[in-house]
Structure 1
Amino acid sequence: MTSTTTRTTDAALPPLGAPGVLSRRLGFISVVACFGGLLFGYDTGVVNGAETPLQVDLGLNLVQLGLVVGLLPFGAALGALLTGKLSDAIGRRTSVILLAVLFFLGVLLVVFSPGGNGTFSALGYASVLAGRTILGLAVGGASVVVPVFLAELAPYEIRGSITGRNELAIVSGQLAAFVVNAVIASVFGTEGHIWRYMFAVAAIPAIFLFFGMLRMPESPRWLVKKGRVEDARRVLLTVRPPERADAEIDQLVEAVEDEAGTRLGLGGLLRSKWLLRIVAIGFGLSMVQSLTGTSSVMFFGTRVLQDSGMTAEEAVLANIAFGVVAVIGGIIAVRSMDRVNRRKTFLTGLTLTTSFLLLTAIAATVLPEGSAARPIVVLVLVVAFVLSMQTFLNIAVWVWLAEIFPLHMRGLGMGIAATGGWLVQGVLAIFVPSLLSSIGVQGVFLMFAVFGVLSILFVWKLVPETRGRTLESLERDVSTGAIYTMKKSS
C-alpha cells in the first residue's frame, strides 16, 4: 500500500470529538499504568544518593558497588526481553500486574538484607544483589509493557503525548528518589542503615500499581489479535466515541486478517529482512539513548558532583536539580510530542546533549581542582544536559519504540530493542565509578561526547519517521519496507 493511501485511510477515521468523559477515562487509565514508570524511575534513581551509604554500611569496594548498581540494568535487559514476549502471550494488563509483584519482592530483599555496620557479609551482599536483579527484571518489563499498553490504547492523534506520560512518570520517580534521599540524609545523616529507608519507599507505588491495574482494561489491539473482537470493542467504547470505536475495530480486524498466514513471533522476525532491519534500528536507537550517559548521571550524579568539588551533603542536595529539570523537560516533551517529527526531535536532542557533554569535559579540564567555580559550572552544564536529554530524547525514544513494531511481534520487538539500552547501562553502571576515579569527570564526559557524534550519524542515516500515523498503517509500511522509501523522499 502506498503512503498516500495509508495517510488518507488514517485521516478518514471519524474525529475524536471534544474532550469529555471518554478522554478523562483514558487519562485515568494512563495515570494508573504510569505507576509502573514511577517505579522504574524511583528504583533507578534511588541508588543515586543511597550508593555511598550502602557501600560504607556493607563494606563494599568499588567493583562490588558497581555490581550492585549494574545488576539492575542487566536484570532490566533480561526483563525487557522476557516480558516483551510474555506480554504478547498473556496480555499487557496481566503482565503489568505481575511486574508490580516483582517490584514489591525486590524491595523486600534489598531492605531486609542481613549485615551492615561496615562489615562485609556475603549473605547480605547476595540478598542485595538478588533484590536488585529482581527489581531490574521489573524495571525492564515496565520499560517495554507500559509504553506498549498506552500506545495501543491511545488514538494516533495524541499517541505521542499519552505514551510519553510514562517517561514523565519515570523522571518524576527519579525526582521523588532524589528528594527522599535528600530528606532522609538531612534528617538522619549519611551513615548507617539509612539507605534501607531510601529503598523501602518504593514498596508504596508497587502496591498502588498492583491494585490499580486489577481494575484497568486490557489492550484492545491485543484482544483483537487473540480473536476477542467484541471484548476489544467494549474497551474502545469506554475511551472513544461509538463511530470512532467501530472504525478502529474494523481497521484492527483488517490488520489482523492481513497477518493471517504470517509466521508470528521470533520465527516470523527471522524470516523477514524488513522486520530484522527495524528491530536492529530499534536496538541501536535504544543504545543511542543510553550512550549519551544519562543513566550514569542518574545513577552517579552525586559522585560526579563530589568529584567536581562538592561535599557529600552538597552533592545530595544539588542532585535534586537533575530531577527537577528532568520533570520540566518531560512536561515540555509531552506537550510537543504530537507536534514535532520524531527524527527532528532526536537530532535536536543529540546535538544539544553532545554539546553540553563536550562543554562539561572542557570546563572540568580548564578549571583547576579546588576552584570555587568548578563545581558550580559543572552543575550548570550537567543540568543543561539533563534538560536537553529529557526534552528531546528520553520520551521520544520510548514513544518511537512503542509504535514502530507490527502488532504480531510488538512486545517481542520492543523487548529486543530495549535490551540494547539496558545492556549499555549495565556496563556503564559497573565501570563508571572506576572511570571517575581514574580519568575524572572530564574523561568520562568526553567519552560520552564521542558517542554522541556517532549517534547523530546513526539517527540521520537510519531512523524512519512515525509521527501522525496509525499503528496499523505503520505496520504495513514497516512490513513491506515502504517506510524507508518514505523517509528518503521526505
Structure 2
Amino acid sequence: MNTISNDSSDDESARAVTVRQRIFFVVLVATMGALAFGYDTGIISGALPYMSAPADQGGLGLTSFTEGLVASSLVFGAALGSFLSGFFSDKFGRRITLRSLAVLFVLGSLGTALAPTVPVMVAMRFLLGIAVGGGSATVPVFIAEIAGPKLRAPLVSRNELMIVTGQLIAYVASTLLSYLLHDEHLWRYMLAIAMIPGLLLFIGTFFVPASPHWMVAEGRLHEAKKILKHLRETPREVRKEMNEMKKQARKAERGPDVRTLIREKWVLRLLLIGMGLGFVIQFTGVNGFMYYTPIILKSTGLGTSAAIAATIGNGVVSVIATFVGIWAVSRFPRRKMLMTGLFFVITAQVLLGLVMTLVPVGLTQSYMALGLILLFLFFMQMCISPVYWLLMSELFPMQLRGALTGTAVSMQWIFNAIVAFSFPPLMAFAGSKVFFIFAIINIGSLAFVALMLPETRGKSLEEIEQHMRDKFGEKNVSEEPA
C-alpha cells in the first residue's frame, strides 16, 4: 500500500512540475512583449544624443523641440495602442492580439532604425508606441487568465520584472555600444536591437495556447477545458475553474449586453478606480526620476559621465526591487503593499526636497540625492508597479476585461506623458520644491488607495468579479436561485 501511495505521490509531483513548466513557458513568451516595452522606453535616452547630431555626421539634426517630439511620440502611440488593443483582444483573443503586436514591434523597431528623416522617425516611434501600449494592456490579462488563482500574483508580476529588465538592458547596451562602437550611425544599432524580443514574441505565440477564459466567453467550452487540462495540476482544479467560468458566462448571457454593462454603476466605478490607479503610479513621479536622473544629479554638481552612469544604478535597483516585489505580492494584500510603497515614496521625496534645499552643492549633496532616488525607486518598483499591473489583470469583469483594461492602461500612458512633459519645466520653475509638490500629490494617492481600492488577493477572477458586484451594491439579480 505504501509503495502504491508513494508512486501516486511521485506522479502527482511530476505532473505539478510539468504543469508549472508549461505555464512558465507561456509567461516567458508573453513577457517578451514586456521586455520589448522596457527596452523601447529605455533606449531612447542613450540614442537621442547621437540622433541630435547634424545629418552630415550621421544624426537627424534634432532640435530641442523635435527631440521632445521623437521621445514623446512613443508615449502617445502607447496611449492609443493600449486603448485599441483591449477591444481587439476581447474580439479576437489575447494570443492573436499579442501576435499582431509582435509584428508592430518588429516593423516599428526596423522603421526607427532606418528612419531617414525626423517625420519618418516620429511616425515609426508612434507605430512602436502602439505595440508598446498594446502589450502593456494585453500581457497582464493573458498571464492572469493562463496562470490560475495560485500562480496569478507572482506570474503577472513577472511582467513588471521584464519591463525593468528591458530598461536595464537598454541602459547597459547604450553605454557599452557608445564605448565599443565608434560609428556615426550608432543610434541605429541601438534601436534595431529592439526587433529581437518582438521576433521572439511572434514565434512564441505559435507555441502557446489561447486563453481558456476567452474561449469560454466565446462559447468554445470543449477547447477551453482541453487547454485547462494542460495548465492545471489536478482534475479538481479544472472542474472548479470551468464551473466558475461557465457560471460567469451564463450570467453574462442572461444579464445586460456589453453596451448596457458599460453603463452599470459598479462597472463604471471599477473603471474609475482603474484610471485612478494609473494616476497613482505615474504621479509618484517615477518617470521624472527614470528620464531625468542625470539632470537632477548634474544640478548637484556631479559630472555628466557620472550622472549618466547613475542611470544604470536606477535600472539595477529597479530589477532587484521587482524580484522582491514578486516574492511579496504572493504573501501580502494588494492594498497594504500599495500603501506601504506610497508611504516610503512620500518619505523619500520629502527628504530629497530637503537635501536639495538645505545641503550645499557638492559631492555630499550628490550622494545623498542619489541615495534617496534609489530609495524611491526601490519601494516604487517593489510595492507599487507590480501591484498596479496585477490589479489591471484582476479588477475588470470577463465580458469587458480587455476593453476596460485597455482603457485604464491608456489613461496611465496619458498620465505618463503629462509627468514626462511637466517635470523639466517644473524643475526650472520650482527647483527643489518640485519634490514637495509630488509628495503632496502622493498623500492624496495614499488616501485614494485607502478609501477606494478593494482587496483582490486570494480570489479567482470569477470570485473577484462577484465580489466587485457585491461590494459596490450591484447584486446580480439574474443569478439562479440556490
Contact 2:47 2:187 in 1 (8 A): yes
1:257 aligned to which of 250, 262, 265: 250
SS at match of 2:277: helix
Partner residue in 2 for 1:134: 127
Q: Distance in 2 between matches of 1:154 and 1:367?
A: 49
Q: Structure 1's 186 and 220: CA in aligned 2 closer, same or farther, altered over 3 A?
A: same
Contact 1:53 1:194 in 2 (8 A): yes
In the TM superposition, what is the alpha-carbon distance from 1:110 to its structure 2 partner? 1.4
Q: Distance in 2 between matches of 1:422 and 1:259?
A: 30
Matches within 5 A, 1:220-235: 220-235=212-227
Q: Distance in 2 between matches of 1:79 and 1:52?
A: 27
In the TM superposition, what is the alpha-carbon distance from 1:307 to its structure 2 partner? 3.4
Give the AA of the match of 1:308. Answer: T
1:90 aligned to which of 71, 88, 92: 92
In the TM superposition, what is the alpha-carbon distance from 1:263 to its structure 2 partner? 3.2
In the TM superposition, what is the alpha-carbon distance from 1:388 to its structure 2 partner? 0.7
Per mean C-alpha deviation after superposition, the further-off stretch among 235-244 and 431-440 is: 431-440
In the TM superposition, what is the alpha-carbon distance from 1:304 to its structure 2 partner? 3.0
Partner residue in 1 for 2:189: 197
Query: Are positions 1:212 and 2:212 aligned together?
Result: no
Matches within 5 A, 1:389-404: 389-404=380-395
Q: Distance in 1 between matches of 2:309 and 2:20?
A: 38
In the TM superposition, what is the alpha-carbon distance from 1:248 to its structure 2 partner? 1.1
Partner residue in 1 for 2:36: 39
Q: Distance in 2 between matches of 1:58 and 1:377?
A: 37
In the TM superposition, what is the alpha-carbon distance from 1:333 to its structure 2 partner? 0.8
Contact 1:464 1:483 in 2 (8 A): no
1:103 aligned to which of 102, 105, 123: 105
Superposed CA deviations along residues 349-375 of structure 1, whole A, max 9, x for unmatched, are: 011111112211221222334x12222
Matches within 5 A, 1:458-477: 458-477=448-467
In the TM superposition, what is the alpha-carbon distance from 1:18 to its structure 2 partner? 7.6
Partner residue in 2 for 1:425: 416
TM-score where L is the length of structure 1: 0.89
Per mean C-alpha deviation after superposition, the further-off stretch among 37-46 and 360-369 is: 360-369
Q: Distance in 1 between matches of 2:48 and 2:260?
A: 42
Partner residue in 2 for 1:276: 268
Superposed CA deviations along residues 258-312 of structure 1, whole A, max 9, x for unmatched, are: 1113334344212x00100010011001111000111222233333333333333
Contact 1:477 1:483 in 2 (8 A): no
In the TM superposition, what is the alpha-carbon distance from 1:484 to its structure 2 partner? 10
Matches within 5 A, 1:4-403: 19-56=16-53, 57-114=59-116, 124-188=117-181, 192-240=184-232, 241-270=234-263, 272-369=264-361, 371-403=362-394
Superposed CA deviations along residues 154-206 of structure 1, whole A, max 9, x for unmatched, are: 121221101111111111111111111111122247x9433222222111111
Q: Structure 1's 16 and 162: CA in aligned 2 closer, same or farther, altered over 3 A?
A: farther
Q: Structure 1's 16 and 73: CA in aligned 2 closer, same or farther, altered over 3 A?
A: farther
In the TM superposition, what is the alpha-carbon distance from 1:376 to its structure 2 partner? 1.8
Contact 1:66 1:429 in 2 (8 A): no
In the TM superposition, what is the alpha-carbon distance from 1:80 to its structure 2 partner? 0.9
Q: Distance in 1 between matches of 2:136 and 2:173?
A: 23
Q: Distance in 1 between matches of 2:304 and 2:103?
A: 34
In the TM superposition, what is the alpha-carbon distance from 1:55 to its structure 2 partner? 3.3
Q: CA RMSD in A?
A: 2.1
Contact 2:103 2:202 in 1 (8 A): yes
Q: Distance in 1 between matches of 2:169 and 2:371?
A: 21
Per mean C-alpha deviation after superposition, the further-off stretch among 50-59 and 286-295 is: 50-59
Q: Distance in 2 between matches of 1:94 and 1:225?
A: 16
Q: Distance in 1 between matches of 2:473 and 2:209?
A: 31
Q: Distance in 1 between matches of 2:473 and 2:62?
A: 50
Give the AA of the match of 2:88. Answer: L
Q: Distance in 2 between matches of 1:362 and 1:70?
A: 31
Q: Which segments of 5 or more consecutive residues in structure 2 lack a partner in the other structure?
A: 1-11, 54-58, 476-482
Contact 1:67 1:429 in 2 (8 A): no
Q: Distance in 2 between matches of 1:125 and 1:434?
A: 24
Q: Distance in 2 between matches of 1:201 and 1:212?
A: 18
Q: Structure 1's 171 and 426: CA in aligned 2 closer, same or farther, altered over 3 A?
A: same
Superposed CA deviations along residues 424-457 of structure 1, whole A, max 9, x for unmatched, are: 11122233334444444x2433332222111111
Q: Distance in 1 between matches of 2:411 and 2:14?
A: 39
Per mean C-alpha deviation after superposition, the further-off stretch among 104-113 and 425-434 is: 425-434
Partner residue in 1 for 2:396: 405
Contact 1:341 1:467 in 2 (8 A): yes
Q: Distance in 1 between matches of 2:410 and 2:304?
A: 33
Per mean C-alpha deviation after superposition, the further-off stretch among 294-303 and 170-179 is: 294-303
In the TM superposition, what is the alpha-carbon distance from 1:417 to its structure 2 partner? 1.0
SS at match of 1:156: coil
In the TM superposition, what is the alpha-carbon distance from 1:326 to its structure 2 partner? 0.7
Q: Distance in 2 between matches of 1:63 and 1:259?
A: 49
Q: Distance in 1 between matches of 2:297 and 2:257?
A: 49
Give the AA of the match of 2:137. Answer: V
In the TM superposition, what is the alpha-carbon distance from 1:313 to its structure 2 partner? 2.1
Q: Structure 1's 451 and 484: CA in aligned 2 closer, same or farther, altered over 3 A?
A: farther
Give the AA of the match of 2:460. Answer: T
